[in-house]
Chain A
Amino acid sequence: MGKSIFSEYKNVLPKGLIEEVKSKIPSKTSDKKVKEIMEEVVKEYEKIRIEGGEGIGLVAAESIGEPSTQMTLNTFHFAGVAEMNVTMGLPRVIEIFDARKKIKTPTMEIFLDKKYKNASVKEIKKLSMKIKSIQLGELAQEFKINLSDYKINIVLDKEKLEDAGLETGDVVSLLKKRTKTAKFSKAGKNEIIADVELRKEKGPNEVFRVREKLEKLVISGIKGITHVLPSKRTNPLTGEEELVIITAGSNLKDVLKLDFVDTTKTKSNDIYEIEDVLGIEAARQAIIDEVYTVLEEQGINVDIRHIMLVADTMCLNGEIEGITRYGIIKSKQGVLASASFETPIRHFTSAALKGTKDYLHSVIENVMLNQPIRVGTGLPKLRYVGKIENSKAKKA
């Protein structure tokens, strides 16, 4: 089939559209028909193209702002028994648009590599335990303190040890690697002795301090991931069953380093982390995906273009800027425009110091001055070419 026909339209139609037509045309269609179809598509496309001057930004803001009044404040999962509790609804949207550095419920969806496709539940559980960060305190049954000898007896819980896939010996070696506050040695089947003799000069209180430190010491797993929930789910697109580990807490960088993780699918809901690890383009996509899923969840129908536009403005400067007075609203527009948002005086003083000149490109500034705005029908200008007769007494 005529490939050249399609490439003719490279500059006329968006790439995705050409691809779509390509895949949908029956393979036996003659070149002439293909051309005819393409002409039809171009005609249709020209008809539905966005018009010059259209105030797209405000339309996007309306499209997200208007339905946000209908969103619930607190959403909880009813039916999904096997789900983690994640922030949803309006609070989540606000969180994303604020570009908060610390989000309320960071979570990850870790997809397992293909070779684990037929793995048993037990194996997956084992893998997931590798991800979960475990503190020594969680494994221990008891911390026995021996003040006179400056020693701490750590009695480990057998079952929990098993769950974590560790043995007492492993714990000892891990402890040795992670901390130098004490000397560790195995003292029995499930017992470890931590020797704090070294710090004797600091007094007996030191023993308690060390115990506290040891309790919180992460001995295995990935930092930041507090809960794991291995589950199976069917991919809505392919219908295949997939193995997913849902986590509470997020650490994209370290998780992607693991060899059993499918790095192409694994995702986090922490936008800053994504920016850090994968870059701004990925962060943009993450913003779009996150907002879209939240809106979808609430049964709100918003076209993706509007969300894309918001995400694009947030990522415009190569870093994530929230839609706040510290973020894009400050960076973008003229002085009067940002003053009309919040903290006007501060904007005026800093503008005065810099000697800023405001060229009144913004909508709100022209509204203030009773002038036509530079959007929509305010954009084109009429010019009269020719003589002006009797130009006196022109009325307002």
Chain B
Amino acid sequence: MEADKIPVYRYVDSISFGVLNPKTIQDIATVKVVTPELYDKEGYPVDGGLMDTRMGVIDPGLRCKVCGGKIHECLGHFGYIALARPVIHVKFVKIIHNLLRCTCRECGRVLIPDEKRKHIMDEINRIEEEGTRSEMVSLVSKIISKTKTSKKCPHCKAEQKKITLDKPTTFLENDKRITPIEVRTRLEKINDEDLKLFRINPKTARPEWMVLTVFPVAPVSMRPSITLQTGERSEDDLTHKLGDIVRINQRLFENINAGAPEIIIEDLWDLLQYHVTTYFDNRISQVPPARHRSGQPLTTLSERIVSKEGRIRHNLAGKRTNFSARTVISPDPLIKLNEIGVPQVIAMTLTVPERITEWNMEYLKKFVERGPSKYPGANYVVRPDGRKKKINDETREQLLEELQPGYKVERHLIDGDIALFNRQPSLHRMSMMAHKVKVLPYRTFRLNPAVCNPYNADFDGDEMNLHIPQTEEARSEAERLMIIEKQMISPRYGLSVIGVLQDGISGNYVLTKYMKLPRKKAAELLGQAGLLDYIDKLPNKKEVDGKEIFSVLIPDDFNFKGECKDPDETEVIIEKGKLKKGVMDKKNLGEESGFMLREINKQYGEKFALEFIGNTLRLGITSLMFYGFSAHISDADLPKNVTRLIDQELEKAKQDVDEFIKKYKDGKLEPLAGRTLKESVELRILERLNKARNKLGNIVNKNSSKLTPSLIMARSGARGNLLNLTQITACVGQQALRGKRIEGGYKDRTLSSFKKNDLGPAARGFIENGFKAGMKPHEFFFAAMTGRDSLMDTALRTPKSGYLYRRLSNALQDLKAMKDGSVRDGDDNIIEFLYGEDGIDVSKSEGGKINVNLIISKVLENK
């Protein structure tokens, strides 16, 4: 685009809403549309037709007759149709009805005596000053419901008749039809002051404007036609509808001028009303929707605006961007946490504009020299007037000569560029974070597995999006606000969402709990983990233990006291950068739980914390390799005597249950407070069986070796828990459906393989086998039942919670904290005087609190 053709950009300050009045419609119009014909024989738009070039152009080559603009330059202009007879606007029918009922048919005044009217006005003014919105709404509806039944005008004493609305657009007075002409004259009579009672602003919405006498024709650019491959033209639905309106309107004119009988005129009038109505809204329940010849309903104005696929939510609130990429993700624990591996193909397509200055001219020239097909090159050169030039073999030499300060080069992505990385659904602000580009071979995005959690990503085929910010402002905002380390601490609860995970956790657990290595071997371990710089920090001993190896990563002046997840360890003590006691597990390193991570983040800054997580993760993984770690089926093996113990426990539970049932059947069971007998026995059984499984868990826990890999994973919090293990080795346990044992199915029994009214454990979904031993057919069936129930639950929940989320974000999106700590909405009304009652940012504090004890002891100790 040439410089002088760039449209003027203005900042929109406000938008006023109102009803178009007939005069304005004519004033803004450039054409009076008089014929339904669209094109002449040559295929040019007809003058006075619906595609008149004065309303804008959609064909390349044609120019708008009003502004001279070509397609995309001219935004289009309105036209108008002079309606032969007035027609009611459907969207205002309710208001018109209320106004007709509440005003005098003779003098047009409100059917309220003057003094009372004054009282009501006072009340309106008061509510406007200090009242709530719902007060106002209820007042207005009260006014309407009270006055609409008045029989006599208090001003001119005229008798009032009952006016009813025959939906959608016909008004009846004592069952006699009032024509829109009559409606309009009555509305004209209402004076401006009276309109205030109905909360109508007479300056923007005189009621008679709601009865249309002239009809605005939307610009052509708003309803472009499509040319099919066959050369045929297919017009937009709105054009069809407008054509109907013009045609009927012309017929109506002719008939009126010819003095046709009243019936014919009225029929045509009704038809005109129908077309105008469906032009505005084709989904009104009382009106059959206007259809294409194929039977498919037309999409007219209302349908284009509303709903998720409508103009507002789809096109206005949702934007599309260039400079973005999407591909499958895969893990790479060896890149940094704040990096993103970008395939070279993508790096050569996405570009960053860089402005040429005296200082970087030579540097950028090299990019241009290499061109679009050699990495790292450049794809475009942008001249100062905004014109883009593609670099290719023909243009390269010339462009290279032309380059001078002020030009921009769109160069390929290189390592260190800022990019935004995102995974849907973007439920979080952490779902879109800034990474630094690292260009890598192959075709997937690579990311460090430690940052999966905030994105909620895994590598089973997930795809993610990449965006490259194009301006300095955007880049610096991304780097300062959105980069991983800045988003690490969740504003939801003040803990790190990024942490060591899976093998990293079990690795560090094994390292700090069991491992002991010769110093040489330890140095090798660190070296393999990519921690060469830390080898010097190893203590100079022949043999170093795991705690000492881990300690090399901790800063020398770090002190920490905390707990472990491992129940055998009491606490974690770190003194002067040395792990003295305890082991490293999920509680201190893990995502969403790492207390030690929070401390490190607070004391040494987010950059260091991120580095620390990366290092710890690699140390953990490498330690695991040194240790030799693999889960196997024999993890689930139990010694014979333990199996016997388990059987005994189950037998005991079954006996107890049988006893409950017997008591229940004999009517000797004590009911629980507030429960029926049936409920009581069910609850007791459920409780007993759950207790049995918990006991089995303890038995399994006690009798397995602590060195069992699966158990290590569970104990360190890396993956799985004791319950999973119990279910594999000992017993799956009771299957619960909607909080109860399984019931129903057949009459008085769950499956046909049971006796009727069998309340025993097996017949009601108790699975006594473990996964390893395998389930019996009926047990498998019960497991499938609960499995499906939980699938159903998720399927039903997702849309519900999504809607809740949408409502919340819509209601709260404008709230912001001000510098004084107050919370204000979009119009600067105060919502809270001090955010959260203390003005503290959750993501910067320890769970929204200041650690007062720490400060006190710090000050008092420094004597």
Q: Which of B123-140 contact A (CB under 8 A)?
A: 132-134
A residues near B836, Cβ cutoff 8 Å: 50, 303-305, 308-309
Nearest CB in chain B: distance from A148 CB, A: 39
Closest to A55 in B: B816
B residues near A369, Cβ cutoff 8 Å: 12
Partner of B839, one of A14, A66, A379: A14
Is B807 in contact with A74, judged by CB distance below 8 angstroms? no
Contact with A along B298-309 (1 / 0, CB 8 A): 000010011000
B residues near A344, Cβ cutoff 8 Å: 305-306, 310, 312
Is B316 in contact with A65, judged by CB distance below 8 angstroms? no
Is A305 in contact with B827, judged by CB distance below 8 angstroms? no
Closest to B831 in A: A312
Is B687 in contact with A17, judged by CB distance below 8 angstroms? no
Is A336 in contact with B15, judged by CB distance below 8 angstroms? yes
Nearest CB in chain B: distance from A130 CB, A: 16
Is A50 in contact with B821, judged by CB distance below 8 angstroms? yes
A residues near B428, Cβ cutoff 8 Å: 62, 66
Contact with B along A345-378 (1 / 0, CB 8 A): 1001101111111111111100111010011110
Is A302 in contact with B492, judged by CB distance below 8 angstroms? yes
- Number of interface residues, chain A, beta carbon within 8 A: 122
Nearest CB in chain B: distance from A374 CB, A: 7
Partner of B852, one of A24, A59, A348, A354: A24
Is B816 in contact with A56, judged by CB distance below 8 angstroms? yes
Partner of B801, one of A90, A230, A367: A90
User: Complex Cα distance A302/B793, Å?
Assistant: 23
Answer whether residue A387 sits at the interface, using C-beta atoms and an 8 A cutoff.
no
Known: A65-B805, A345-B91. 7 other contacts (CB 8 A): A33-B859, A40-B859, A56-B816, A71-B797, A309-B835, A313-B811, A362-B826
User: A51-B817, A69-B801 given as contacts; is B837 within 8 A of A14 (CB)?
Assistant: yes
Is A358 in contact with B15, judged by CB distance below 8 angstroms? yes
B residues near A341, Cβ cutoff 8 Å: 807, 810
Q: Which of B576-613 contact A (CB under 8 A)?
A: 592
User: Complex Cα distance A345/B804, Å?
Assistant: 22
Answer whether residue B481 sits at the interface, using C-beta atoms and an 8 A cutoff.
yes
B residues near A166, Cβ cutoff 8 Å: none
Answer whether residue A391 sits at the interface, using C-beta atoms and an 8 A cutoff.
no
Answer whether residue A234 sits at the interface, using C-beta atoms and an 8 A cutoff.
no
Answer whether residue B204 sits at the interface, using C-beta atoms and an 8 A cutoff.
yes
User: Complex Cα distance A57/B769, Å?
Assistant: 50
Is A305 in contact with B312, judged by CB distance below 8 angstroms? no
Partner of B673, one of A62, A82, A97, A359: A82
**Could you say which of A177-185, A262-270, A321-329 contacts chain B?**
A321-329
User: A58-B812, A304-B848, A309-B823 given as contacts; is B835 within 8 A of A50 (CB)?
Assistant: yes
Contact with A along B833-863 (1 / 0, CB 8 A): 0111111111011011010110110111000
- Residues on B lying within 8 angstroms of A by beta carbon are 3, 6, 9, 11-19, 91-92, 95, 132-134, 199-201, 203-205, 281, 302, 305-306, 310, 312-313, 316-317, 319, 384, 386, 427-429, 477, 481, 491-495, 592, 672-674, 683, 686-687, 690, 736, 738-740, 793, 796-798, 800-802, 804-805, 807-819, 821, 823, 825-829, 831-832, 834-842, 844-845, 847-848, 850, 852-853, 855-856, 858-860
Closest to A82 in B: B673
Is B814 in contact with A333, judged by CB distance below 8 angstroms? yes
Answer whether residue A36 sits at the interface, using C-beta atoms and an 8 A cutoff.
yes
Is B17 in contact with A356, judged by CB distance below 8 angstroms? yes
User: Complex Cα distance A93/B823, Å?
Assistant: 23
User: Complex Cα distance A362/B808, Å?
Assistant: 15
Partner of B845, one of A24, A48, A359: A48
Answer whether residue A389 sits at the interface, using C-beta atoms and an 8 A cutoff.
no
A residues near B6, Cβ cutoff 8 Å: 395-396
Is A349 in contact with B14, judged by CB distance below 8 angstroms? no
Q: Which of A291-325 contact B (CB under 8 A)?
A: 301-306, 308-310, 312-313, 316-319, 321, 323-324
- Residues on A lying within 8 angstroms of B by beta carbon are 14, 16-17, 20-21, 24-26, 29, 33, 36-37, 40-41, 44-45, 47-69, 71-79, 81-82, 84, 90, 93-94, 97, 227-231, 301-306, 308-310, 312-313, 316-319, 321, 323-324, 328-337, 339-341, 343-345, 348-349, 351-364, 367-369, 371, 374-377, 379, 393, 395-396
A residues near B15, Cβ cutoff 8 Å: 335-336, 357-358, 360
Closest to A228 in B: B674
Is B817 in contact with A69, judged by CB distance below 8 angstroms? no
20 contacts between A and B (CB under 8 A): A16-B838, A41-B855, A44-B855, A54-B816, A54-B841, A56-B823, A60-B815, A62-B427, A68-B805, A69-B798, A303-B494, A309-B815, A331-B133, A334-B826, A337-B810, A344-B310, A348-B17, A352-B17, A361-B814, A369-B12
User: Complex Cα distance A112/B312, Å?
Assistant: 56
Nearest CB in chain A: distance from B757 CB, A: 24
User: A78-B690, A301-B492, A340-B312 given as contacts; is B817 within 8 A of A54 (CB)?
Assistant: yes
Is A355 in contact with B674, judged by CB distance below 8 angstroms? no
A residues near B17, Cβ cutoff 8 Å: 335, 348, 351-352, 354-358
A residues near B808, Cβ cutoff 8 Å: 60-61, 64-65, 97, 310, 323
User: Complex Cα distance A367/B736, Å?
Assistant: 48
Nearest CB in chain B: distance from A65 CB, A: 3
Is A357 in contact with B800, judged by CB distance below 8 angstroms? no
Nearest CB in chain B: distance from A253 CB, A: 23
Is A68 in contact with B825, judged by CB distance below 8 angstroms? no
Is A353 in contact with B205, judged by CB distance below 8 angstroms? yes
Partner of B811, one of A20, A63, A228, A329: A329
A residues near B848, Cβ cutoff 8 Å: 303-305
User: A37-B855, A349-B91, A355-B203 given as contacts; is B835 within 8 A of A56 (CB)?
Assistant: yes
User: Complex Cα distance A379/B6, Å?
Assistant: 27
Is A61 in contact with B686, judged by CB distance below 8 angstroms? no
Nearest CB in chain A: distance from B696 CB, A: 17
B residues near A93, Cβ cutoff 8 Å: 804
Nearest CB in chain B: distance from A110 CB, A: 14
Is A79 in contact with B687, judged by CB distance below 8 angstroms? yes
Partner of B850, one of A45, A332, A395: A45
Closest to B674 in A: A229
A residues near B853, Cβ cutoff 8 Å: 24
Partner of A49, one of B199, B810, B823, B839: B839
Closest to B686 in A: A78
Partner of B812, one of A77, A313, A376: A313
User: Complex Cα distance A170/B818, Å?
Assistant: 64
B residues near A348, Cβ cutoff 8 Å: 17
Closest to A40 in B: B855
Is A16 in contact with B837, judged by CB distance below 8 angstroms? yes
Nearest CB in chain A: distance from B511 CB, A: 28
Is A41 in contact with B852, judged by CB distance below 8 angstroms? yes
User: Complex Cα distance A33/B857, Å?
Assistant: 11
Is B826 in contact with A363, judged by CB distance below 8 angstroms? yes
Closest to B199 in A: A354
Is B492 in contact with A303, judged by CB distance below 8 angstroms? yes
A residues near B800, Cβ cutoff 8 Å: 73, 90, 94
Is B832 in contact with A231, judged by CB distance below 8 angstroms? no
In the complex, the 5 A-B pairs of residues with the closest C-beta atoms, listed nearest first: A76-B739, A57-B815, A65-B805, A355-B204, A305-B836
Nearest CB in chain B: distance from A61 CB, A: 4
User: Complex Cα distance A75/B592, Å?
Assistant: 24
User: A20-B852, A331-B133, A396-B6 given as contacts; is B16 within 8 A of A356 (CB)?
Assistant: yes
User: Complex Cα distance A2/B738, Å?
Assistant: 60
A residues near B199, Cβ cutoff 8 Å: 353-354
Nearest CB in chain A: distance from B796 CB, A: 6
Is B494 in contact with A55, judged by CB distance below 8 angstroms? no
User: Complex Cα distance A262/B844, Å?
Assistant: 40
User: Complex Cα distance A181/B313, Å?
Assistant: 60
Closest to B810 in A: A341
User: Complex Cα distance A306/B809, Å?
Assistant: 12
B residues near A72, Cβ cutoff 8 Å: 793, 797
Is B817 in contact with A25, judged by CB distance below 8 angstroms? no
User: A56-B816, A317-B133 given as contacts; is B492 within 8 A of A62 (CB)?
Assistant: yes
